Amino acid sequence: MDWRSFWDGDHPIYVNARHRALHDQRIANDIIAQITARGLTVLDYACGEATEAGRVAQHCGTLILSDGAPSVRDKLVQRYVATPNIIVQSPEDSALLPDGTIDLVIVNSLLQYLSPAQTADLARMLHAKLKRGGRLVIGDVIAPDVGPLTDAVALLRFGAAGGFLLAALGGLARTAVGDYRKVRGALGLTTWSEVDFLALLRAAGFEARRLPVNFGHNQARMAFEAIKTP
């Protein structure tokens, strides 16, 4: 099994419905905060089920939702069939978008599942798709010193603040013996130092910086902004 196959299956990544709702609301708010003007074409790459994308689309000219899992795309199509400015596509479709046509690309909680070579290829591809001055914002990049314990503490704090602490405790117990732990143990997660990741973005042609706040609830992970310069 690879990570794409895992995410295409049935996986209890959220401990309950409240966890999922609060998570998706927060990520949508983080994306909206990056949309600095009306009418932009925004690509949410590896978007997941994006249950709050309708709200994000209200701030865009066009919102492209791209995900590698066919079952996820099917759900997105059904959910947003009546939202005219949302387009659902595969990563392979995204790679065929005309160069220089995207204003903003969001990539959140993906790079831990890609090899360094795949990440470098992705950065170069997205650089080509962006307009001059366009922005790539990447969230949830894991540093080498951030492990499962740090992630667990962040989830418990999120659960305590969001009213699902007991469910979070139960979810961590299930994860300890579940498929995610087994797949993570077999495939591993890719980590990046801040210095190395900035170097990768600059090698792809961007001006890049680390952002002060990560997407979502886990502030032990990193977020970056990369701008395609003229």
Q: Give pLDDT tens digits for 154-189.
A: 989 989 998 888 888 887 777 655 555 555 555 568
**Is there a contact between 108 and 139 (Cβ–Cβ < 8 Å)?**
yes
Structural domains in the chain (count): 1
Residue 51 has a pLDDT of 96
Residue 189 has a pLDDT of 87
What CATH number should be reported for the domain holding residue 131?
Answer: 3.40.50.150
Q: Which residue has the tokens 């994306």?
A: 31
> What mean pLDDT value characterizes the chain?
90
- Radius of gyration (C-alpha) of the chain in whole angstroms: 17
Banded pLDDT at 147 (limits 50, 70, 90): confident
Banded pLDDT at 66 (limits 50, 70, 90): very high
Element (H, E) at 208: strand 206-210
Structure tokens, 206:
């961007």
Identify the domain containing residue 61 by its residue range. 3-228
Q: What percentage of residues in the chain have a pLDDT greater than 70? A: 89
Residue 88 has pLDDT above 90, yes or no: yes
Between these two residues, 174 and 81, which has the higher pLDDT value? Answer: 81
Q: What percentage of residues in the chain have a pLDDT greater than 90? A: 74
What does pTM read for this prediction?
Answer: 0.89
Half-sphere exposure of 45 (CA within 13 A, CB side): 25
